[in-house]
Amino acid sequence: MSVFYEQLLDLSERMLAAARSGDWEAVVSLEEARGKGIVALPNDDAAVLPLLRQLLAHTEEVRALAGRQRDRLGTDLEEHPHRHRALSAYLVAGAE
């Protein structure tokens, strides 16, 4: 595997690690750099296929993690008005 391929794979692995740890700003930054590297891959090199498979696997896992994060945020947003009302009621009751 060429140095460029190894660097691209390392970038992808760091992006996946960032997603696993919930560092979505790093994911966005790393994905931007990774995307530029993917575009630069040659079309006529058979050695690219295993790399592309690994990059695709990383992409799929990042998407799954992002989907779970989106769902958690959606749940938190739905629960926010209920929490706000409960806190307001608690504060009003404590002031009386």
Q: What is the CATH number of the domain that holds 87?
A: 1.20.58.380
The domain in which residue 75 lies consists of 3-95
How many other CB atoms are found less than 10 A from the CB of residue 26? 15
The total number of structural domains in the chain stands at 1
Average pLDDT over residues 13-38: 95
Q: pLDDT-based confidence at 40, cuts 50/70/90?
A: very high
Q: pLDDT-based confidence at 83, cuts 50/70/90?
A: low
Average pLDDT over residues 2-27: 95
What is the Cα–Cα distance from 40 to 42, expressed in whole angstroms? 6
80 compared with 77, residue with greater pLDDT:
77
Residue 67 has pLDDT above 70, yes or no: yes
The tokens for 46 are 């058979």
pTM of the model: 0.72
